Amino acid sequence: MIPEGVSGAEAACRFTVTPEPQAAAGPGINGSAARSRPQQPEGDAATATAFPTPPFSFVTLSSQSRSFLLPQYIFVCTLRIGANRITTVSTHAEVIIMAILSVDGAYITLEAPFHPELSPQARRYRGRFVGKGKWRFEAKWESDLRAMCHMLFGVDGRPETVADQVDLTVAVEENGRSPLFRRFHDDIYLGGRQVAGVLKGRLIPRPGKGIRFVRGEPLLEHKGLQWWLWIPTGSEFIIRGVPRMAVPFMESKLDGHGRLLTAQAA
């Protein structure tokens, strides 16, 4: 599936999105089962300055192209620069956008995941929600919006800083005062990322997007019609795709609640 109506430098990367193929019979490289490769589409012509040096970051793509990237799908990106053609094939279990500000003339667009404090903060700057995780503001609020991104997500909203990502391993060590990893009728957030939530209507705890528990798991404690969501002390989880710029911010949020074990390139 290739998005239509996309042209120009932003659309120089076009996608074919297909379900991840099943392993074919017979051994492949290093004894693993071989996989068939999806068809690689041709990209539009683009200048050498339109995109950064490969590998290409997800944030260099247009928002319309991003909307076609689905969880647990393979996407193929082919870029043509003059007579040269560069193709990248990647598989992503989760695609997470972390507070990207796009300045376009008299307006600024903020693309960010849901955060419980985002809506009241955006209203302070007369932000208008336009759907699909996007807010629109007047350009005069740019410096205030970057400060807001720092406060909520630990980033400045620039695509290049959001693109430099690491995977963080966190250990939960609550000290008993105002616990971060225990919430009443609410999801658990750490530095703008949802660590755990509850399936509405079924009251089943689940990890947030891009979160993988390696020790322990989210638990739900019922008291009549009320419930608490919590992550026990001693649990460990990995947060995938955290901007490197946000690591100190994450560590500050963990003070008294846990500690950062590792930070590895995503």
Q: What is the per-residue pLDDT across 22-80, written as a single tens digit (0 to 9) for each?
A: 444 444 333 334 444 444 444 444 333 333 444 434 344 443 333 333 333 333 333 34
Whether 1 is in a domain gets the answer no
**What phi, psi does 162 have (nearest 5°)?**
-70, -30
Whether 18 is in a domain gets the answer no
Is the same domain home to 170 and 258? Answer: yes
Whether 8 is in a domain gets the answer no
Q: How far apart are CA 195 and CA 181, in angstroms?
A: 9
Residues 6+ apart with CB under 8 A from 11: 44, 62, 64, 65
Is the same domain home to 236 and 170? Answer: yes
Whether 27 is in a domain gets the answer no
Q: What is the pLDDT of residue 86?
A: 37
Is the same domain home to 154 and 169? Answer: no
Q: How far apart are CA 153 and CA 246, in angstroms?
A: 7
Range of the domain at 131: 100-159
Is the same domain home to 83 and 131? Answer: no
Whether 137 is in a domain gets the answer yes
Q: How far apart are CA 149 and CA 161, in angstroms?
A: 12
Domain boundary among 115, 131, 159: 159
Q: Please identify every stretch of the chain with a pLDDT value under 70, giving residue numbers as ranges.
A: 1-95
Is the same domain home to 132 and 187? Answer: no
pLDDT in tens, 238-256: 999 999 999 999 999 999 9
Q: What is the pLDDT of residue 95?
A: 57
Whether 59 is in a domain gets the answer yes
Number of folded domains in the chain? 3
CA 81 → CA 3, 8, 9, 46, distances in Å? 20, 13, 11, 6
Whether 129 is in a domain gets the answer yes
Strand-pair partners of 153: none
Whether 2 is in a domain gets the answer no
User: With b meaning 16 or more CB within 10 Å and e meaning fewer, what string describes 65-88?
Assistant: bbebbeeebbbbbbbbbeeeebee
